Chains A and B, each alone.
Chain A
């Protein structure tokens, strides 16, 4: 097991290196930088701009910039955000945490609803429950995140039950810890639900088909022939094997979730990585864009790593390979 973990960890290093190199190259290819707009300002002398450019190594070719950037990242420093005028590390850490919170709760909501629903649909195959679930799944797979987020926004504005955007209220700092917790949860519920809804349908369909496949297996027939109760057959024998293939779609589901979070964050004003990326993009704060892309990729790669570990833990055949 440990050698497997080590191998997978080692595999992640060239991947993240490649991703950072690619985004760095793309940013270098992009026309203009943060100082292009600044140089239009008559109050800032060309010398100041040249000085600032030199300070951020923007006067050097892109591979030299990459080298400087990489060196500071190794020291845990993600550079300095030119647009926000604060160290990028604190900005990134805060936004990354928000995106993680959003995705994590969406993940819990999605899997928490999809798995029981999928089991229910499979057990009651061809009943109205099953039909209802598959119709729901079809609609759920086709509703774009953009539309769902806008509807949620409309819902929040029309009912007033949920705050319209943001991660915390303006008076957050003056609240007691319990109120602060409730405030954050209150802001989180709606975006997390929207994000979960887009993921839910696919997982449910997969759960249903996996369980149906295992229910056809001979050991299930054997268990039934031994006179075991139907509940015991399904939960002790069939379900344990049906869950396995589901772990493989965990990675895909996570990728979809992170892209979905990008949309939800931007529409519902959730201060996460996706929103920061767009802000940095519009401000031409190129280092910050690179940081965001690399961090989002790291989040995805880490999620895939956990999924692989779960899979290896539940299925010994995989770690022997």
Chain B
């Protein structure tokens, strides 16, 4: 269950991103492009960060010896909106002095704090997974239930449609779907678009499995009883058949969340998803595609590590849930 704990921490941090992040996602420090990660160290009982000095003519920095500032907790800094509503200025940590910045993961090519962007980006990347799963699995379950319950030509049409969607390699379909949306959308619009695209593809595999389960469930006594009592078809499907598939659905959902997260990452990485200056794990990685940046400023890869940890945690959790739901062993 370590996966579950990691995920709870990740999502809590994402919710309170504005508070945890020392800076805002679009604050540019024009004096410090490609600043290396600052390493705080213990001096007495306080954590201190050194001041970094830029060597002339290059984006190479060196810590100045004996010139440090202590890190304060709950420090006042740039303004942000907690939960997107409550204006606040208190940040978890910082020095309160802009000559002694705390860039734990360095800065990018525009002098923006990578850690802060990572945290703001997690709001988008992590929520897309959950919202996408909720949407596509709800549709998948209902459509699969209808398909299996009614059979006949309804079933044939729906299943052929599923086959059609599943036979196109996912990313090719994603890009063709992306083409139907206009360029130059605002960030919330792009966010909604990514969810719609990923859900449009995701429901098919779910529907197929649920249909298979419904085919055997609908012959069972309790379904016949519910129908004999005169319940409507929709009610029988939603109230009696689908709840019996939940143990499968929950495991499948947990194991599918990574695909949605990666879907956003790929779209944003290729430049057709979340646009700058908004941060997402995908568009942050775009900078790392430049091999020159990659060699000299490897901290630009940190969103990749974040994706890896998240996917690993979801896989751990999904495996644990599957073992718990599996009555065979």
Contact = CB atoms under 8 A, between A and B. Distances in A.
B175 A164 contact: no
B23 interface: no
A150 B289 contact: yes
A274 to B, nearest CB: 7
Interface residues of B, number: 42
B127 to A, nearest CB: 18
A171 interface: no
Contacts of B160: 14, 18
B8 interface: no
Given A146-B269, A153-B294, A293 B170 contact: no
Interface string A228-267: 0000000000000000000000000001001100110011
Contacts, number: 128
B240 interface: no
Contact of B179 (A15, A164, A289): A289
Contact of A144 (B177, B291, B298, B311): B311
Nearest to A19: B168
Interface stretch (A21-29, A78-86, A173-181, A214-222): A21-29
Contact of B169 (A18, A142, A262): A262
Given A293-B172, A301-B167, A30 B262 contact: no
Interface string A142-186: 111111001101101110000010000000000000000000000
A99 to B, nearest CB: 10
A222 to B, nearest CB: 24
A296 B171 CA distance: 10
Secondary structure at the B interface, as helix, strand, loop or mixed, is helix
Given A278-B270, A296-B168, A297-B169, A150 B312 contact: no
Contacts of A193: none
B173 interface: yes
Nearest to B316: A138
B141 interface: no
A208 B224 CA distance: 42
A26 B176 contact: yes
Most buried by A among B168, B295, B304, B308: B168
Given A26-B176, A255-B170, A281-B179, A144 B262 contact: yes
A76 interface: no
A153 B289 contact: yes
A142 B315 contact: yes
B301 interface: yes
A259 B167 contact: no
A204 interface: no
A150 B176 contact: no
B176 A23 contact: yes
A157 B315 contact: no
Interface string B178-208: 1111100000000000000000000000000
A142 B170 contact: no
B168 A138 contact: no
A263 B270 CA distance: 9
B104 interface: no
Given A19-B168, A267-B289, A281 B262 contact: no
Given A142-B311, A144-B262, A154 B298 contact: yes
Nearest to A257: B169
Given A147-B308, A267-B289, A259 B169 contact: yes
B182 A154 contact: no
B115 interface: no
Contact of A19 (B167, B175, B180, B182): B167
A26 to B, nearest CB: 5
A150 B180 CA distance: 29
A141 interface: yes
Interface string B139-183: 000000000000000000000100110011111110111111110
B279 interface: no
Contacts of B295: 154, 157-158
A93 interface: no
B285 A150 contact: yes
Interface of B: 160, 163-164, 167-173, 175-182, 258, 262, 265-266, 269-270, 272, 282, 285, 288-289, 291, 294-295, 298, 301, 304-305, 307-308, 311-312, 315-316
Given A14-B160, A143-B311, A297-B168, 19 more contacts: A15-B164, A19-B168, A29-B180, A144-B304, A144-B307, A145-B262, A146-B262, A146-B266, A146-B285, A150-B288, A158-B295, A258-B169, A259-B172, A263-B266, A274-B171, A290-B176, A293-B175, A296-B169, A297-B169
The 9 closest A-B pairs by CB, nearest first: A147-B304, A142-B312, A258-B169, A262-B171, A30-B179, A157-B291, A142-B311, A29-B180, A259-B171
13 contacts: A19-B164, A31-B182, A138-B315, A144-B304, A144-B307, A147-B301, A150-B301, A156-B291, A157-B291, A164-B291, A266-B270, A277-B175, A281-B178
